[in-house]
Amino acid sequence: MDRNIRTVEDVLTFLDGFFTSDTDTGRLATGDGTAFWDRFYTDRSRPVPFFSPKPDASLAGYLDRGLIAPGRALDLGCGAGRNTLHLAARGFEVDAVDLSPVAIEWAKERAAEASVEARLICGDAFTLDGELTGPYHLIVDSGCFHHLPPHRRISYLALLDRVLAPGGHLALTCFAAGPDGMGSELDDADFYREGSLQGGLAYTPEALRRAFAGLTEVELTRMRQEPPESELFGVPFLWTALFRRGGGPS
The per-residue DSSP string of 117-163 comes to --EEEES-TTT-TTT----EEEEEEESSGGGS-GGGHHHHHHHHHHH
What is the Cα–Cα distance from 174 to 237, expressed in whole angstroms?
Answer: 9
What is the Cα–Cα distance from 173 to 175, expressed in whole angstroms?
Answer: 7
State which residues form the domain around 218: 8-244
Which pLDDT tens digit goes with each residue over 77-102?
A: 999 999 999 999 999 999 999 999 99
Quick one: pLDDT band at residue 124, thresholds 50, 70, 90?
confident
User: What is the reported pLDDT for 48?
Assistant: 85
What is the Cα–Cα distance from 26 to 34, expressed in whole angstroms?
Answer: 9
Quick one: pLDDT band at residue 25, thresholds 50, 70, 90?
very low
User: What is the reported pLDDT for 21?
Assistant: 58
What is the Cα–Cα distance from 218 to 151, expressed in whole angstroms?
Answer: 26
Which pLDDT tens digit goes with each residue over 170-180?
A: 999 999 999 99
User: What is the reported pLDDT for 47?
Assistant: 87
Quick one: pLDDT band at residue 27, thresholds 50, 70, 90?
very low
75 domain residue, yes or no: yes
CATH code for the domain in which residue 26 is found: 3.40.50.150
Phi, psi of 119 (to 5 degrees): -90, 110
What is the Cα–Cα distance from 182 to 203, expressed in whole angstroms?
Answer: 9
Three-class SS state of 177: coil
176 domain residue, yes or no: yes
Which pLDDT tens digit goes with each residue over 147-165?
A: 999 999 999 999 999 999 9
113 domain residue, yes or no: yes
Alpha carbon 205 to its chain's center:
17
Give how many domains the chain has, as a whole number: 1
Is the pLDDT at 31 greater than 50? The verdict is no
191 domain residue, yes or no: yes
Which pLDDT tens digit goes with each residue over 217-242?
A: 999 999 999 999 999 999 999 999 99
